[in-house]
Structure 1
Amino acid sequence: MLRFCAAVCAALSFSLSAGIVSAQDVTLKSHDGAVEIIGTLLGFDGEFYRVDTIYGELTVDGSGVTCDGPGCPNLINFVADVAISGSESMAEVLMPALLEAFALRNGFTVTRKDFEETRFEYHLSQLETGDLRARFRFHASNADEGFADLLADEADIAMSLREIRPQEAAFGYEAGLGDMSNTNRSRVLALDGMVPIVAANNPISSISLVQLAEIYAGKISNWSELGGPDAPISTHLAAAKSGFAQAVEDQLMVRANLAFQPEVIRHNRNPDLLTAVQRDPFSIGITSFSDTSSTKVLTLTGSCGFSLEASRRTIKTEDYPLNAPMFLYFPARRLPKLVRDFLAYTRGPSAQVVIRRAGFVDQTSEEIAINSQGDRLANAISVVGEDLTFEDTQEMMATLLGKKRLTTSFRFQTGSSRLDAQSRSNVHQLARAIEGGRYDTRKLYFVGFSDGEGPAKINRNIALKRAETVRDAVLAAAETANLERLSFDTIAFGEAMPMACDDTSWGRQVNRRVEIWVD
């Protein structure tokens, strides 16, 4: 937190130092000499200068000016340069895999240069000439450091395993980075989940989210309270400052109105956490779905008997409640074209293959036949009662029969009409698929579901409005699509197909969703 506050102070006072002579001082003059801009060069992307002046930060088209001063870049042999800071797992595994694949696809060679323990660079050079074309500078740390580096103008992109927090976004706005909470200031690069694990010989195989939170709060301290042996529970988690641990806090502890007990054993490296859990039959840990080693992953269950297992498919659909999207955050500034090309590549189909091979969950939409959804159909039958009739369930089954569900789903933030982070990313993923003609000649159904709190008729109406909201967002994002090539419909079945128990906020959140089905 001290590092973050220092970055805030530095960012807010940065403009006061513009008059100091620096190696980055430049003078930009229009070709007719009528306009002259003097300031400190903050960046050049090969097309535009970014300059800190007495008027604030300005972005100037390089084709309309000449540059004079010690800070002027080399326009002939321009090298794209970008600083990326934040999540260690993203910096060490995911981003290098994507960079190497991008380089191979575009005729570049890749060289890694290591400096101190947490800093390294990837250099992309032209295959034919060996000329350096791009320099990707990494600072592998955590989400706190990534956002602090953005504020201090020491990074162009932040990597995070959690969403930006309101205070961080507010400081960023004051520092001139734009509204970092907006959709266009972030991107979900890949998906992951947070899973509870125990040693392979631990007899416990399932746990509720309430129980999991109470264990980490110290309210449940013995395995006998969960039907296991009479032995104390040893709790393990990532380091407190890691984005992963903060995501666990946000999604598990805060929603349970609980705090971590001081006795939680913290680990700086995930392999150390996995080893500790493997060796202690009375321990429990929370780790990423992408890295569980030989530990046993516990199934999440509820009082009503519904269970939720973490899998690549349930993480994609957000049916698994503890999801952990992997974010990139960008301030409101232009990046070099080659860097923009790389970021565009990360959204394409070939990048999704790389993401999956790197061990993470990609965002490629898959189709699930209705005969592969036995648990969901059983849940639908189990809730038939006074408020929800068998005819309601029959209507739903008749409508969905012969259709397939996409893994692209949409959920809203708790107590809000705003889509959650993964769903906002799904809006653009589905829009691009529509623009690319993937669903031409087919019909897309936006199907709304709700939790079971309140009258069934009202819940169904709310679910329909949510489905219409998602449909409108997707169509607005699909700006270049020829909508005459496919058709759309919005329908809702309310509480007819629950995924989880309604007696917790997590269960209700899972049940309130908009699914996409295709014929």
Structure 2
Amino acid sequence: MRCAAIFAALVVWPLISVAQDVTLTSRDGTLAISGQFQGYDGELYRVMTEYGLLTVDGEGVTCEGPACPDLTNFVADIRIAGEPGLAASLTSPLVTAFAANRGFVAVPVEGGIDLQEPAMGRVVAHFRLVTATDTEAADKLRLGAADLTLSALAEPDLGARVLGMQALVAVTGADNPLPAMATADLARALSGQIQNWSELGGPDRPLVIHALASDSGFRKALEARLGQSIVAGAEHANLAELDAAVARDPWGLAVTAASANGKARRLTLTDSCGFALQPTKLAVKSEDYPLTQPFFVLTPKRRLPLMAREFLDFIETPAAGAAIASAGLIDRDVERTDLVSDGIRLANAIRGAGPEIGVPELQRLTSAMAGAQRLSLTFRFDGGARTLDAASRDNLATLVRLIEIGTFADQELVFAGFSDGSGPAAANLQLSRERADVLFEAVATAVPDLGDLRVSLAVEAFGEALPMACDESPIGRGLNRRVELWLRAPSPREIPETEN
């Protein structure tokens, strides 16, 4: 039983070091364990013993043996795995900004960046990028060969935080005459269902799809968003090569990151109902723009070294925003816009309203929008269910943090639920309310002292009354199933729901 006072945890750790014998002895000398040294993260020892793999608090023991670390000059080794494109371009500015925030000096070295104390020049941490595909990087994280992973793909068995958002765009050759394309047509072309430009209103020429390699995280994330595989006629090593190749090919077509779009001509996107789709900052942050791709930092289901935990805390702060933007991502700072100034959304509400959505329901919607602002924090659900997706879980954590620091004092936060147009309007209205209730309960539970913070919460539900896109495609239906976050002055009034 006395061992429990020393052992911080009894967990399965990956074997990442050359094993050597050590003995850990309690400070009072009454307890000792021996085994093969597996690692030290600045706080905890990991030792393979006759009892199994033990994690031991370093403050409670002394270490004897050839593998014992130098505690006086300990250097944290933080391994970040990711693809050589966006992950590589993010690592350097993020680590450099983190070093400045912590008062260290970032010194580029072969294979990574050292963090040094400014006075003595002592190295306190070494950050290095382990180059791998997104799939390989996730495996390294599971096996303990990496501490963090930067990836376009979220993994269900790994923690995920959104670093930023990418706006994806459709591009073609500089000499291609087609001015615009519907997203449904784009999806059919990428999947091989359309093979000639004449099927899109262009000339009678074969359509050539350009893409990254099939094992790239960017391509896999795009295929997951499209819900189908891409049938590529030409593959490229990175987005820069893809853009250059498409620019030279008048009959080429590809999807790339807006930040990587150079000489290839960008196509204007619409949905199949004619709704305009613009990758504005608010539309990307709220994922209302259909070709929005979150970029994640993935974490393992084990305790991370202290320096890695502090780095994760840093990337959630505004100080990390400039570094994230320098790599072409859109940061996650919360944007606001007046609801009534959004004429496109109101026009879509009128044009896209189904036969069961009457004028009274649209009037109720516009009345609720009057005087309110919309925040870019928008919530969507895995597979249309009631479980928040990875980006929305991050949005929820951000919202709770903003409430706790007083950002919304003396204001009312409204969770406005919406649905797609599949099924009866009454059922959709109820489903949109249930999803909004999920957010209401989550925030009320996470912040029990809302009254002390002078923040009130409310729920509104409008079903299918305010479509963001056409319901004819899976992407459009996914955009329409959402809970928006509105901000308005507290009001005791209730807006009754109309019967349809």
TM-score by length of 1: 0.87
Partner of 2:293: 324
The residue matched to 1:192 in structure 2 has which SS? strand
In structure 2, the partner of 1:375 is: 344
The alignment status of 1:92 with 2:88, answered yes or no, reads: yes
Is 2:143 aligned against 1:152?
yes
Aligned partner of 2:230: which letter?
A: F
Which residue of structure 2 lines up, in the alignment, with residue 403 of structure 1? 372
Q: Is the 8 A contact 2:14 2:144 kept in 1?
A: no
**Structure 1 residues 206, 470: CA separation in 2 closer, same or farther (over 3 Å shift)?**
farther
Match of 1:241, SS?
coil
* Residues 1:128 and 2:128 are matched in the alignment: no
The equivalent of 1:113 in structure 2 is 109
| Structure 1 SS opposite 2:202 | coil
Structure 1 gaps of 5+ residues are 1-11, 115-119, 170-179
Deviation of 1:141 after TM superposition, in Å, equals 2.5
Alignment correspondent of 2:131: 140
Q: Secondary structure of 1:150's partner?
A: helix
Instruction: Look up the match of 2:328.
Output: 359
For 2:450 and 2:113, locate their aligned partners in 1 and report how far apart those are by CA, in whole Å: 36
Which of 437, 445, 470 is the aligned partner of 2:406? 437
Report deviation, 1:152.
Answer: 3.2
CA deviations over 1:307-361 (Å, ceiling 9, x no partner): 3222322110110123221111222333332332222111011212332243211
**Residue 457 of structure 1: CA displacement?**
1.8
Assess, with a 3 A threshold, how the Cα gap between structure 1 residues 79 and 14 changes in structure 2: closer, same or farther.
closer
- For 1:308 and 1:421, how far apart are their aligned partners in 2? 23
Question: What SS is found at the alignment partner of 1:111?
Answer: strand
Counterpart-to-counterpart distance in 2, 1:343 and 1:160: 15
Query: In structure 2, what residue type is equivalent to 1:426?
Result: N
For residue 54 of structure 1, report the CA deviation from its aligned partner.
Answer: 4.2
Q: Distance in 2 between matches of 1:137 and 1:157?
A: 11
| Aligned counterpart, 2:182 | 208
Residue in structure 2 matched with residue 244 of structure 1 by the alignment: 218
Partner of residue 166 from structure 2, selected from 175, 178, 192: 192
CA contact (8 A) 1:161 1:247 kept: yes
Shift in Å, 1:414: 1.4
1:476 to 1:200, Cα distance in 2 relative to 1, 3 A: farther
**Stretch moving more, 54-63 or 473-482:** 473-482
Q: 1:481 to 1:327 in 2, by over 3 A?
A: farther
Q: Distance in 1 between matches of 2:180 and 2:23?
A: 65
Counterpart in 2 of 1:224?
198
Structure 1 residues 474 and 288: alpha-carbon distance in aligned structure 2, compared to 1, 3 A threshold: farther
The one-character-per-residue Cα deviations of 1:419-456 (angstroms, maximum 9, x if unpaired) are 11111110111111111111111111110011111221
Which SS does the other structure have where 1:325 is aligned? strand
**What's 2:5 paired with?**
none
Change in Cα spacing, 1:320 to 1:101, as seen in structure 2 (3 Å) is same
**Residue matched to 2:303:** 334
Equivalent pair of 2:416/2:486 in contact (CA under 8 Å): yes
Amino acid at match of 1:343: L
Q: Please name the residue that 1:104 is paired with.
A: 100
Per-residue CA shift, 1:121-143, capped at 9, x if unaligned?
11000111111011112112221
Return the offset for 1:365: 0.6
Aligned residue among 267, 275, 289 for 2:258: 289
The one-letter code sitting in structure 2 at the alignment partner of 1:187 is R
Unaligned runs of 5+ in 2: 1-11, 489-500
Choose 33-42 or 241-250, whichever is displaced more: 33-42
With 326-335 and 201-210 compared, the bigger mean Cα shift is at 201-210
Q: CA deviation at 1:481?
A: 6.5
Q: CA separation of 1:438/1:38 partners in 2, compared to 1, >3 Å: closer, same or farther? A: same
Amino acid at match of 1:472: E
How many Å apart are 1:285 and its aligned residue? 1.1
3-state SS of paired residue (1:290):
helix
- How far did 1:247 drift? 0.8
1:386 aligns with 2:386: no
Instruction: For residue 148 of structure 1, give the secondary structure of its aligned residue in structure 2.
Output: helix
1:466 aligns with 2:435: yes
| From 230, 233, 238, the counterpart of 1:269 | 238
1:3 counterpart residue number = none
State the aligned residue count.
Answer: 477
Distance 1:469 1:81, change over 3 A: same
1:374-432 CA distance string (max 9 Å, x none): 11000111134531011111111111111100011001111432111111110111111
Aligned match of 2:469: 500
Cα RMSD (Å) = 2.3
- CA contact 2:161–2:391 (8 Å) conserved in 1: no
Report if the CA contact (8 A) 1:206-1:300 is conserved.
yes
CA shift digits 1:246-277 (9 cap, x unpaired): 1122221xx2xx4333x531111211101001
Contact between 1:200 and 1:278, CA under 8 Å: does it hold in 2?
A: yes
- C-alpha distance in structure 1 between counterparts of 2:217 and 2:438, whole Å: 31
Residues 23, 414 of structure 1: CA spacing in aligned structure 2 closer, same or farther, 3 A cutoff? closer
SS of aligned partner of 1:334? coil
Over the matched positions of the two proteins, sequence identity in percent amounts to 41
Residue pair 1:432, 1:478 contacting (<8 A) in 2 also: no
Q: Is the 8 A contact 1:435 1:482 kept in 2?
A: no
Conserved? CA contact 2:171–2:255, under 8 Å: yes
Distance 1:243 1:54, change over 3 A: farther
Instruction: Tell me which amino acid in the other structure corresponds to 2:122.
Output: D
CA distance in 2, matches of 1:424, 1:390: 35
Distance in 1, matches of 2:49 and 2:14, equals 11
Partners of 2:101 and 2:74 in 1: CA distance: 21
CA distance in structure 2 between the partners assigned to 1:512 and 1:54 by the alignment: 53
- Kept in 2, the 8 Å contact 1:87–1:161? The answer is no
Q: Determine the C-alpha separation between the residues in 1 that align with 2:84 and 2:329.
A: 14
The letter for the 2-side match of 1:147 is: A
CA distance in 1, matches of 2:149, 2:14: 20
Q: Which moved more, 1:269-278 or 1:351-360?
A: 351-360
**1:39/1:293 Cα in 2 relative to 1: closer, same or farther (>3 Å)?**
farther
Which residue in the other structure is 1:9 paired with? none
Distance 1:24 1:156, change over 3 A: farther
Q: Retained in 2: the 8 A contact 1:42–1:50?
A: yes
> Aligned partners of 1:126, 1:480: CA distance in 2, in Å?
41
Partner Cα distance (1:483, 1:500) in 2 = 39
Q: Which residue of 1 aligns with 2:54?
A: 58
Match of residue 67 from structure 1: 63
2: CA distance, partners of 1:267 / 1:302: 28
Once the two structures are overlaid, the 10-residue window that deviates more, 92-101 or 442-451, is: 92-101
Asked if the contact 1:428/1:474 (under 8 Å) is kept, the reply is no
Distance 2:399 2:14 in 1: 41
**Aligned-partner SS, 1:85:** strand
Distance 1:415 1:500, change over 3 A: same
Tell me the distance in 2 between the aligned counterparts of 1:458 and 1:123.
Answer: 57
